[in-house]
Structure 1
């Protein structure tokens, strides 16, 4: 059996921002806040106390997962593996949102979800919803092929949302972005929430164990 501790990153500057703040960072470069650093330290202590025999630690290519993992990586003295397919849903082009207020960003995000076009890409630096959905499938296949054991994975909110959507069977063969958005708003993980995702042969289960 594979037991995967799946964690949403600590508070980022975007998570903490109010409506008047301005978009400064591209998605990949968003750092965690001072509070986020405290959360990462507390999380590392919790993991050391509750998780044993960890074989490998994984992070996305995005800065906020790597900063969140850093205290635990240091304690464990394990070099984390970067998995590209773990990166967050990048659905708004940075060139179109840079310098806009967070309120303008949220308005633009609402327009994106309202299109309900799973193949639409806002720019060359963006995913389509369909390609993002498939990335989560790739990671599921990746861990299915891993040897049995315990793994710790630092990821992102939308990413975890799609995994939950898949594992809980909330989607049909035809993807519906608006239905996912409704689901995601209801279950969105908080910063440093921890889920246990288990894979036993081809049977998968997931549950939140820390919030």
Structure 2
């Protein structure tokens, strides 16, 4: 009987509740902090693991790093890396400074209604095409971590970014950017990745597979 093939297992966790998620006005997308509830969610994530992961990957944004902190404290010898898996910033930050999610809603709806994957709203904003390419690059980079033995990786990031990764992993994923953009918006509204939640994906050296949840064993 042949030995089981080694598997790369990646647990992707959205950050805990942030000040923006709670309705507060914020200035810079990169420096939005967690709320007290978000900190509790971060601690709860750290308790899901029964053994140390091989690698912890984190977005450069503060709320993701704060979410990773309890897990890093629990496993201080686990290597940590920061990857460009930050959230999709499609509205120019200068325009949004000092606004809440409710105040930004008309701009958000207008952006998605236009449905132009090449549109760049202004300085510091990203096109949908560039966003998808970042998600594709992250999956390719993760695939290089597959080795001759099982590997467990934990990623701390953001809802829309992980939604894009999950979509790209799913069987029959469409990569036409205009079609993808419309479908992505619908999926993200109907089945969002909530604060402190996530999913697990596995890679066997050839293909990705989604698991049901992000409970690690």
TM-score for the superposition, normalised by structure 2:
0.88
Q: 1:200 aligns with which of 198, 204, 207?
A: 204
CA distance in 2, matches of 1:106, 1:179: 19
Q: Give the corresponding residue for 1:82.
A: 82
| Structure 1 position 140 matched with structure 2 position 139 | yes
SS in structure 1 opposite 2:20? helix
Kindly state the Cα deviation for residue 101 of structure 1 after the two structures are TM-superposed: 4.0
SS in structure 2 opposite 1:57? strand
SS in structure 1 opposite 2:54? strand
CA distance in 1, matches of 2:114, 2:172: 20
Q: 1:9 aligns with which of 15, 27, 42?
A: 15
Gaps (5+ residues) in structure 1? none
Deviation >4 Å, runs of 4+:
none
CA distance in 2, matches of 1:192, 1:101: 21
CA distance in 1, matches of 2:66, 2:115: 33
Taking a change above 3 Å as real, the CA distance of residues 41 and 146 of structure 1, as seen in their structure-2 partners, is same
SS in structure 2 opposite 1:13? coil
Within 5 Å, which residues of 2 pair with 1:1-211? Answer: 1-17=7-23, 21-22=24-25, 24-47=26-49, 49=50, 52-77=51-76, 78-84=78-84, 86-148=85-147, 149-169=151-171, 171-175=173-177, 176=179, 177-210=181-214
CA distance in 1, matches of 2:39, 2:52: 25
Gaps (5+ residues) in structure 2? 1-6
Taking a change above 3 Å as real, the CA distance of residues 65 and 101 of structure 1, as seen in their structure-2 partners, is closer
How many residue pairs match? The answer is 203
Taking a change above 3 Å as real, the CA distance of residues 201 and 101 of structure 1, as seen in their structure-2 partners, is closer
Kept in 1: contact 2:200–2:211 (CA 8 A): yes
CA deviations on 1:4-44 (whole Å, 9 max, x unpaired) are 11111111011111xxx43x231111110011111111211
CA distance in 1, matches of 2:196, 2:129: 26
CA distance in 2, matches of 1:162, 1:200: 20
Kept in 2: contact 1:54–1:151 (CA 8 A): yes
Kept in 1: contact 2:200–2:214 (CA 8 A): no
Q: What RMSD over aligned residues (CA atoms) do the two structures have, in Å?
A: 1.7
Kept in 2: contact 1:11–1:32 (CA 8 A): yes
SS in structure 2 opposite 1:179? helix
CA deviations on 1:95-141 (whole Å, 9 max, x unpaired) are 11123343220111000001110011111201100000000110111
CA distance in 2, matches of 1:12, 1:159: 16
Kept in 1: contact 2:12–2:214 (CA 8 A): no
